[in-house]
């Protein structure tokens, strides 16, 4: 094997951070090389430098042994290096073909040669098994296909070294499998892939070699087969990490949250919840698995009062909260970790003190007549910051200056301190790194031990499988499966999430319809 | 709080809290330099122009009084706009609210007869209440019908202008007996006392400063102020925390309108003693500049109102003494306001400088980095 | 009171700080005015229209320019962009100890009443309105004299023996026009009928047009408009129906060269010039100054010769001379009109 890329002693400084501190990286021709690290470790910065998006302050890049300087992305692409970003850069109202040829259009005189363009797309698509519909509008196709379009776009420009920035973050388990197939095909064809991730399991599954970054420095490079997940986690975080939280056996108590025949519409007025019923008991974590956009968001919003229901009932113990305001539900004992912490969970331009106050501002000891007792609020914030180990210079800083993990800690601290009887946790670990995930998981398990009822919504199957006592699968606004912990496998859940019936997939025993409390059923409807 | 007991991290904040005042002052300095360059480009003697400007604003008791007379309504309109901003609302309708406040205060002032202790507060309150109602209308439309307040408030301004014109036109319900298109003069019992002999300065300035304190207290220390700020920064997050963004929107516009109404009332009760055609010389529009210049903080609003008041009164002497044409002065004032508003861009620079200073100090740089994320 | 003072001190300090930060901080230094000692300095405060309005303000300013030319006085103007500025503009100039301060327009009445008593040693003048202040010269015009001539022209020119009058607002000044006009018509031919309408506003051309069309429809073929901006609607109506119309304040012939047969022009510059001359001569006194045909305060527009036949114009000029000679006394109010007996013309 020959060396494709060598980056030597790359240094990149940002105003207050040393993002890359003398980073050296060698990538061999035709390998899948993983760049592993926590959020903020400097992975993306390093790859932005390699793809010409940013210039290094120090250090050099050698491409096939020759020093290169990229002045722009286009420059890097000309040298055969292309990057597929986390957020796709596609034009939603253009077709797949139009997006792929954008900026590189085959011309026939003044006019675009669409016929030639389509043929080229079809050929590339065929060769690497990248299935796309060349005439569909990008806004109409699923995320997984959009990603394939991005990869095709890079390939169509003759890119030989492809950088994928956290490509699995937006995909369903099935789509992840398909991506792996594509990656292997590309490797077979002699392409080199740099794969940015913070998920250990993916590294183990797909990569040949791995380089771990921490705080902008290289912790080491290894052949993937020589290292295990625990070892990688230690390199990433700098200490031993509990990757799969251990939970004590805990028996569920009385029913705390009961949802009956809930119907609701989404923001566009289309049916989003179609007869959803579920219950959560004290001391139990119920996990809802599902691909994003199948009604989980609407379910959470209807339960917490942020969205109107069409019909159905929501009970907190014996109390019907269906018609209550969000504030009344909160007072009735409903806690909520929202899935979008920057939009819902926090006021980004508020100080931490003001953020900790949210929902408490009308209750003692903070409310003093029409006034707020800020001394009390400050004390409360300090306490919370300490209890939940929020890394911040102080309670006065704005929420937006904190890292994602610390922002999430603020929300969790606030919701936990509300001491809710029922907690709705929507995507509580989305975008968090290993250490922060560990913290959140332990917190949820602790609540469970305190006999709280927890409804966990997550796109991460491992999270659902690790934490839940019972697992429900949502698909197109319905609950299509229910399992006890230990009964479900990722494959079974994955298929249900994608809308298949389990018997087609592998002959699971099933009962005709799903009802509350009955486990192991699949809805055929 | 005892300073010595405050943890290290808190002390840094006292430094950071200097950012806004420095920002404000730097913005003004930049603005005056830009203005000077402009004057030189027009072959005017900038040093002389500015010295005349300052003379006209501070040079005599009478001049300084006039500066404060112009400052007074600008404090109200600046507070009005700033309060709206804190709830995420852009109240462009202060002009209309001011017209209504002035109209009602004038009416109560000339048509009713009662002792001063009741008459004056009632006229002031009447102006505030009607201004508040006029402001609540776009608030309601925004909250419950999703009609953008910028559009509705501007439209309502034109209605207010038309109503005002009708009121004092010949045969209009508020037309006084004289030739002037104006209401009758208000009674002595409804007038704000002149507090500085030899000037036109009335007790209105005291009311204005009092309102600045009250608005500060309201926004930053009360529960409803807190909720408004939450809605202003993120209606979604506020809703999640059980705050009703709709109610807050209506209230914020009503209170903003009430401040606009008070601006008009104080002009009538303290300066002109009557309502007349084309009443507001654009105090409502200037309020937007005052609020932005003052970085939406009541103290900043008072300072910015003073700056604009100074430009207003100083520009008269620039015409009268330096002989600079009205148009050049208008451009100069607009330039100064524009460049003062560039103070927004200075903030990251200043904060960066302070952080750097702190890094060199006793702080642990690693701690800094973590918080950045 | 002590709290007020504290507040003021705070504000003064703030002002000092701001002044200190400016590149040109010499607020207390006296600024030399352009005028050397002993040269008189006259100042004018415009109304909202400002200079360049082709009317009141420009006309007054022409008087200032004549004063500068003839007596070498320094002249300056402060333009008001809004009504709220009248008082500060007048008082700023008073602080400067100008030798004469002229306020233009009747809207400045309130402001003059407020400022003049505070500066009893300053000479003020107010154009087109009256205030009872000892140091204010109120420059007004004998509009009735000019209007009388317009009435004569209308009566001579009318073929239908019906003429019209459209006024802006029913103010004292406009009524003076009406009285003079009607007396002029009556003097030429008592049988000519005068239709009178008021628009209720000076800035409503649509209303002016509507009223004028109504009068033309009723048979009038000449209308005298005294209605400011409203009057442009009247002229419009004349153009549309191809009837005759008479303008006001300045020569309005250019608005409709074939329809505007004459205009009654006001000599604003002349009035200001006369008062300014009194100041120069040290003879200034407050009170009412009325300028008529004799003083050139009002007159017939030069363009009249374009549409009015020479024989009629000659007759009108004779009437003018009779008024100057005091042989005819045009009524200044409608009450005086009632007792007015038309003189016999030669």
- Cβ neighbours of B234 in A, within 8 Å: 343, 346-349
Measured CB to CB, residues of chain B less than 8 Å from chain A are 7, 9-10, 12-13, 221-224, 226-227, 229-230, 233-234, 236-244, 352, 355, 359, 367-373
- Cβ neighbours of A397 in B, within 8 Å: 371
Domain that holds residue C50: 37-141+269-291
**Residue A1 — very low, low, confident or very high, per pLDDT cuts 50/70/90?**
low
Q: For all residues of chain A together, what is the average pLDDT?
A: 85
Q: Tell me, yes or no, whether C256 and C179 share the same domain.
A: yes
Q: For all residues of chain B together, what is the average pLDDT?
A: 85
B7/A394 touch (CB, cutoff 8 Å), yes or no: yes
A143 CA: distance to closest CA in chain B (Å): 26
Find the DSSP H helices in B296-342.
298-320, 326-341
Q: Which residue has the tokens 């008073």?
A: C94
Q: Tell me, yes or no, whether C149 and C117 share the same domain.
A: no
CB-based contact B309:B303 (threshold 8 Å): no
Q: Which of residues 312-371 of A touch B (CB under 8 A)?
A: 325-330, 336, 338, 343-350, 354, 357-359, 361-362, 367, 370-371
Q: Tell me, yes or no, whether C136 and C151 share the same domain.
A: no
Measure the CA–CA gap between A290 and A341, rounded to whole angstroms.
20
pLDDT for the residue A313: 92
Measure the CA–CA gap between B74 and B293, rounded to whole angstroms.
12
Dump strand ranges (E) for chain C.
41-45, 74-78, 100-104, 124-127, 136-141, 162-167, 193-198, 222-226, 244-249, 260-266, 287-291, 298-300
Residue A83 tokens read as: 């990057």
- The correct CATH number of A242-333+420-525 out of 3.20.20.70, 3.30.420.40, 3.40.50.300, 3.30.465.10 is 3.40.50.300
Pairing verdict, β A107-108 and C100-104: unpaired
Measure the CA–CA gap between A480 and A521, rounded to whole angstroms.
8
pLDDT at A511 over 70: no
Residues 6+ apart with CB under 8 A from C338: none
pLDDT at B272 over 60: yes
Phi, psi of A207 (to 5 degrees): -95, 160
- Cβ neighbours of C103 in B, within 8 Å: none
The model's pLDDT over A231-256, given as tens digits with 9 standing for 90+, comes to 888 888 888 777 777 777 777 788 99
CA-CA distances (angstroms) from residue A471 to A291, A461, B67, B299? Answer: 14, 10, 71, 56
CATH 3.40.50.740 fits A3-237, yes or no: no
Measure the CA–CA gap between B355 and B346, rounded to whole angstroms.
14
CB hemisphere CA count around C230 (13 angstroms): 22
CA-CA distances (angstroms) from residue C295 to C145, C181, C269, C325? Answer: 11, 20, 12, 12
The answer to whether position B170 is within a domain reads yes
Measure the CA–CA gap between B44 and B46, rounded to whole angstroms.
6
The model's pLDDT over B42-73, given as tens digits with 9 standing for 90+, comes to 887 888 888 888 888 898 888 899 999 999 99
Q: Which of C238, C218, C217, C219 is nearest to C227 (CA)?
A: C238
- Tell me the Cα Rg of chain B: 23
The interface predicted TM-score (ipTM) is 0.81
| DSSP result, A305-333 | TSS--SEEEEEETTEE-TT--HHHHHHTT
| DSSP result, B34-93 | HHHHHHHHTT--HHHHHHHHHHHHHSSHHHHHHHHHHHHHHHHHHHHHHHHHHTT-----
Question: Angle, nearest 10°, between helix axes B149-168 and B94-111?
Answer: 30
Q: Do chains A and C touch (3 or more CB pairs under 8 A)?
A: no
Give the lowest-confidence range in A26-30, A192-196, C48-52: C48-52
Q: Which residue has the tokens 């549409």?
A: C307
The model's pLDDT over A358-393, given as tens digits with 9 standing for 90+, comes to 999 998 889 988 999 999 999 999 999 998 888 888
Laid out side by side, the sheet with A217-223 consists of A81-84, A161-165, A192-197, A32-37, A209-214, A217-223
The model's pLDDT over B252-269, given as tens digits with 9 standing for 90+, comes to 999 999 999 999 999 999
Number of structural domains (chain B) is: 1
- Cβ neighbours of B179 in C, within 8 Å: 106, 109, 129, 169, 171-172
Q: Tell me, yes or no, whether C319 and C225 share the same domain.
A: yes
Q: Which residue has the tokens 């388990």?
A: A173
Q: Tell me, yes or no, whether C152 and C238 share the same domain.
A: yes
Residue B286 tokens read as: 């200037």
Helix (H) or strand (E) holding A277: strand A271-281
User: Would you call C78 exposed, middle or buried from its count of C-beta atoms within 10 A (0-12, 13-18, 19+)?
Assistant: buried
**Residue B361 — very low, low, confident or very high, per pLDDT cuts 50/70/90?**
very low
Residues 6+ apart with CB under 8 A from B188: B116
Other beta carbons within 10 Å of A387? 12
Assign residue B101 the CATH number of its domain.
1.10.3470
Laid out side by side, the sheet with A66-68 consists of A17-28, A3-14, A58-63, A66-68
**Residue B4 — very low, low, confident or very high, per pLDDT cuts 50/70/90?**
very low
Measure the CA–CA gap between B164 and B53, rounded to whole angstroms.
33
pLDDT for the residue A301: 93
pLDDT for the residue B223: 93
Assign residue C284 the CATH number of its domain.
3.40.50.2300
B371/A393 touch (CB, cutoff 8 Å), yes or no: yes
The model's pLDDT over A452-472, given as tens digits with 9 standing for 90+, comes to 999 999 988 888 988 999 999
Measure the CA–CA gap between C63 and C68, rounded to whole angstroms.
9
Instruction: Output B55 or B206, whichever has higher pLDDT.
Output: B206
Q: Which of B314, B245, B328, B299 is nearest to B36 (CA)?
A: B328
Q: Tell me, yes or no, whether C184 and C333 share the same domain.
A: yes
The answer to whether position B9 is within a domain reads no
Residue range B76-93: mean pLDDT, rounded: 95
Measure the CA–CA gap between B141 and C72, rounded to whole angstroms.
63
Q: Report the Cα B29 to chain-centroid distance in Å.
A: 21
Residue C97 tokens read as: 């100890």
3-state secondary structure of A457: strand
**Residue B372 — very low, low, confident or very high, per pLDDT cuts 50/70/90?**
very low
Would you state the torsion angle of the CA atoms of residues A410, A411, A413, A415, taken in this order, to the nearest 10 degrees?
160
Dump strand ranges (E) for C100-221.
100-104, 124-127, 136-141, 162-167, 193-198
- Cβ neighbours of B313 in C, within 8 Å: 88, 92
Measure the CA–CA gap between A421 and A256, rounded to whole angstroms.
8
Q: Tell me, yes or no, whether C208 and C327 share the same domain.
A: yes
What parts of chain C have a pLDDT lower than 70? 1-38, 53-55, 346
CB-based contact A41:A216 (threshold 8 Å): yes
Domain that holds residue B270: 23-38+46-342
CB-based contact B274:B190 (threshold 8 Å): no
Q: Which of A57, A391, A456, A459 is nearest to A247 (CA)?
A: A456
3-state secondary structure of C100: strand
3-state secondary structure of A36: strand
pLDDT for the residue A382: 93
Q: Tell me, yes or no, whether C112 and C46 share the same domain.
A: yes
CB-based contact A466:A245 (threshold 8 Å): yes
pLDDT for the residue A518: 43
CB pairs under 8 A between A and B: 108
CB hemisphere CA count around A85 (13 angstroms): 9
pLDDT for the residue B16: 59
- Cβ neighbours of B49 in C, within 8 Å: 24
The residues that bridge with A319 in the sheet, in sequence order, are: A316
Is the model's pTM score more than 0.80? Answer: no
Measure the CA–CA gap between B353 and B345, rounded to whole angstroms.
14
pLDDT for the residue A524: 41
Q: Report the Cα C280 to chain-centroid distance in Å.
A: 23
The answer to whether position C214 is within a domain reads yes
Range list for CATH 3.40.50.300 in chain A: 3-237, 242-333+420-525
Measure the CA–CA gap between A343 and A397, rounded to whole angstroms.
18
Q: Tell me, yes or no, whether C150 and C239 share the same domain.
A: yes
Number of structural domains (chain C) is: 2
The model's pLDDT over A480-495, given as tens digits with 9 standing for 90+, comes to 989 988 888 888 888 8
B205 CA: distance to closest CA in chain C (Å): 9
CB-based contact C179:C202 (threshold 8 Å): no
The answer to whether position C8 is within a domain reads no
Q: Tell me, yes or no, whether C108 and C41 share the same domain.
A: yes
- Tell me the Cα Rg of chain C: 23
Which sign, positive or negative, has the C-alpha torsion B143, B148, B150, B151? negative
- Choose from A90-104, B183-197, B356-370 the range with maximum mean pLDDT: B183-197
pLDDT at A437 over 90: no
Best B61, B179, B206, B273 residue to mutate vs chain C (most C CBs within 10 Å):
B179
End-to-end C-alpha distance for chain A, whole angstroms:
54
Q: Which of residues 150-189 of B touch C (CB under 8 A)?
A: 169-171, 178-182
Laid out side by side, the sheet with C193-198 consists of C193-198, C162-167, C222-226, C244-249, C260-266, C298-300
Q: Which residue has the tokens 């030669």?
A: C346
pLDDT for the residue A139: 82
pLDDT at A509 over 60: no
The residues that bridge with A483 in the sheet, in sequence order, are: A471
B372/A401 touch (CB, cutoff 8 Å), yes or no: yes
How many residues appear in chain A?
525
Q: Tell me, yes or no, whether C212 and C276 share the same domain.
A: no
Other beta carbons within 10 Å of A268? 6
Q: Tell me, yes or no, whether C273 and C136 share the same domain.
A: yes
3-state secondary structure of A352: helix
Tell me whether A391 touches chain B (CB under 8 Å): yes
pLDDT for the residue A125: 85
Residue range B216-245: mean pLDDT, rounded: 93
Instruction: Output C53 or A450, whichever has higher pLDDT.
Output: A450
């Amino acid at each position: 094997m020959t060396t494709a890329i060598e980056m030597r002693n790359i240094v990149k400084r940002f105003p207050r951070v040393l993002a890359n501190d003398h980073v050296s990286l060698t990538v061999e021709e035709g390998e899948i090389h993983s760049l592993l690290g926590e959020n903020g470790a400097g992975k993306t910065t390093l790859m932005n430098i390699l793809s010409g998006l940013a210039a290094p302050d120090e250090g050099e890049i050698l491409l096939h042994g020759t020093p290169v300087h990229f002045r722009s992305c286009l420059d890097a692409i000309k040298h055969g290096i292309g990057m597929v970003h986390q957020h796709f850069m596609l034009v939603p109202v253009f077709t797949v073909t139009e997006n792929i040829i954008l900026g590189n259009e085959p011309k026939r005189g003044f006019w675009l040669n669409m016929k030639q363009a389509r043929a080229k797309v079809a050929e590339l698509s065929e060769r690497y098994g990248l299935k796309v519909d060349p005439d569909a509008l990008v806004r109409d196709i699923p995320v997984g296909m959009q990603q394939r379009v991005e990869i095709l776009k890079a390939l169509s420009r003759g890119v030989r070294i492809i950088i994928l920035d956290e490509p699995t973050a937006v995909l369903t388990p099935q789509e992840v499998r398909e991506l792996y197939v594509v990656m292997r095909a590309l490797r077979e064809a002699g392409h080199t892939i740099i794969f940015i991730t913070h998920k250990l399991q993916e590294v183990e599954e797909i990569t040949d070699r791995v380089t771990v970054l921490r705080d902008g420095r290289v912790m080491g490079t290894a052949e993937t087969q020589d290292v295990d997940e625990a070892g990688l986690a230690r390199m990433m975080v700098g200490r031993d990490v509990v990757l799969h939280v251990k939970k004590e056996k805990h028996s569920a108590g009385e029913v705390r949250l009961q949802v009956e025949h809930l119907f609701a519409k989404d923001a566009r007025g289309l049916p989003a919840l179609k007869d959803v019923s579920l219950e959560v008991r004290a001391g139990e974590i119920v996990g809802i698995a599902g691909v994003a956009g199948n009604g989980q968001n609407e379910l959470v919003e209807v339960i917490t009062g942020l969205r109107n229901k069409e019909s159905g009932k929501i009970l907190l113990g014996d109390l019907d909260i269906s018609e209550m305001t969000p504030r009344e539900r909160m007072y009735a004992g409903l806690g909520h970790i929202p899935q979008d912490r920057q939009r819902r969970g926090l006021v980004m331009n508020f100080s931490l003190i003001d953020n900790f106050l949210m929902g408490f501002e009308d209750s003692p000891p903070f409310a003093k007549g029409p006034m707020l007792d800020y001394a009390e609020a400050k004390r409360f914030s300090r306490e919370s910051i300490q209890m939940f180990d929020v890394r911040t210079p102080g309670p006065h800083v704005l929420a937006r200056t904190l890292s994602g993990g610390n922002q999430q800690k603020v929300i969790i601290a606030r919701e936990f301190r509300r001491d809710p009887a029922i907690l709705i946790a929507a995507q509580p670990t989305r975008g968090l790194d290993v250490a922060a995930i560990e913290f959140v998981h332990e917190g949820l398990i602790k609540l469970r031990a305190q006999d709280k009822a927890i409804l966990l919504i997550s796109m991460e199957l491992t999270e659902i499988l690790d934490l839940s006592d019972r697992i429900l699968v949502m698909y197109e606004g319905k609950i299509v499966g229910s399992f006890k912990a230990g009964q479900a496998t990722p494959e079974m859940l994955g298929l249900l999430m994608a809308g298949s019936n389990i018997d087609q997939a592998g002959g699971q025993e099933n009962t005709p319809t799903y009802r509350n409390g009955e486990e192991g059923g699949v809805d055929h409807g | 709080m005892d300073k010595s007991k405050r943890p290290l991290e808190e002390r840094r904040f006292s430094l950071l809290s200097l950012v806004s005042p420095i920002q404000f002052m730097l913005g003004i300095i930049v603005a005056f330099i830009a203005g000077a360059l402009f004057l030189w480009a027009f072959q005017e003697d900038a040093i002389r122009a500015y010295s005349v400007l300052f003379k006209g604003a501070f040079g005599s008791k009478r001049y300084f009084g006039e500066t404060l007379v112009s400052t007074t309504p600008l404090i109200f309109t600046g507070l009005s706009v700033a309060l709206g901003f804190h709830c995420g609302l852009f109240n462009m309708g202060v002009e209309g609210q001011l017209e209504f406040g002035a109209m009602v205060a004038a009416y109560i002032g000339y048509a009713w007869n009662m002792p001063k202790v009741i008459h004056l507060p009632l006229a002031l309150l009447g102006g505030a209440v009607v201004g508040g109602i006029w402001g609540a209308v776009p608030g309601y439309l925004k909250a419950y019908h999703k009609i953008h307040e910028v559009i509705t408030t501007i439209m309502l301004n034109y209605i207010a202008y038309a109503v005002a014109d009708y009121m004092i036109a010949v045969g209009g319900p508020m037309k006084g007996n004289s030739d002037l298109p104006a209401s009758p003069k208000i009674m002595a019992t409804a007038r704000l006392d002149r507090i500085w002999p030899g000037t036109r300065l009335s007790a209105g300035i005291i009311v204005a400063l009092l309102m600045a304190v009250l608005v500060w207290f309201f926004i930053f220390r009360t529960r409803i102020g807190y909720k408004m700020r939450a809605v202003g920064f993120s209606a979604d997050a506020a809703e999640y925390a059980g705050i009703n963004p709709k109610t807050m929107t209506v209230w914020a516009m009503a209170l903003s309108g009430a401040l606009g109404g008070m601006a008009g009332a104080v002009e009538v009760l303290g300066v002109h003693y009557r309502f007349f055609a084309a009443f507001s010389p654009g105090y409502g529009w200037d309020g937007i500049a005052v609020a932005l210049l003052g970085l939406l903080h009541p103290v900043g609003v008072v300072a910015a109102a003073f700056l604009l008041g100074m430009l207003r009164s100083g520009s008269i002497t620039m015409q009268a003494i330096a002989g600079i044409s009205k148009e050049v002065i208008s451009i100069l004032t607009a330039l100064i306001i524009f460049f003062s508003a560039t103070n927004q861009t200075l903030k990251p620079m200043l904060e960066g400088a302070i952080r750097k200073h702190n890094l060199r100090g006793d702080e642990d740089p690693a701690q800094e980095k973590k918080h950045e994320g | 009171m002590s709290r007020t003072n504290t507040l003021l001190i705070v504000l003064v300090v703030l002002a000092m700080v701001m002044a200190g930060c400016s590149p040109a901080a010499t607020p207390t230094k006296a600024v030399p005015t352009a005028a050397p000692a002993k040269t008189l300095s006259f100042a004018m405060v415009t109304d909202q229209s400002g200079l360049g309005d082709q009317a009141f303000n420009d006309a007054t300013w022409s008087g200032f320019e004549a004063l500068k030319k003839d007596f070498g006085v320094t002249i300056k103007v402060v333009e008001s962009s809004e009504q709220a500025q009248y008082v500060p503009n007048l008082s700023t100039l008073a602080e400067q100890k100008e030798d004469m301060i002229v306020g233009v327009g009747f809207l400045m009445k309130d402001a003059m009443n407020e400022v003049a008593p505070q500066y009893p040693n300053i000479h003020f003048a107010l154009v087109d309105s009256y205030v009872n202040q000892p140091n204010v010269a109120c420059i007004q015009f004998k509009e009735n004299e000019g209007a009388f001539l317009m009435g004569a022209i209308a009566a001579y020119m009318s073929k239908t023996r019906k003429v019209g009058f459209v006024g802006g607002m029913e103010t004292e000044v406009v009524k003076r026009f009406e009285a003079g006009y009607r007396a002029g018509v009556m003097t030429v031919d008592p049988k000519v009928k005068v239709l009178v309408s008021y628009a209720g506003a000076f800035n409503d051309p649509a209303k002016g047009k509507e009223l004028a069309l109504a009068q033309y429809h009723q048979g009038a073929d000449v209308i005298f408009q005294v209605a400011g901006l409203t009057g442009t609607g009247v002229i419009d109506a004349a153009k549309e129906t191809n009837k005759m119309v008479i303008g006001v304040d300045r020569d309005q012939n250019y608005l409709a060269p074939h329809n505007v047969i004459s205009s009654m022009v006001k000599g604003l510059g002349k009035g200001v010039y006369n008062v300014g001359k009194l100041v120069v001569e040290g003879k200034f006194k407050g009170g009412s100054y009325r300028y008529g045909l004799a003083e050139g305060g009002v007159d017939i527009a030069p363009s009249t010769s374009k549409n009015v036949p020479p024989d009629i114009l000659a007759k009108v000029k004779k009437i003018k001379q009779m008024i100057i000679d005091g042989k005819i006394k045009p009524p200044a109010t409608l009450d005086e009109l009632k007792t007015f007996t038309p003189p016999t013309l030669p």
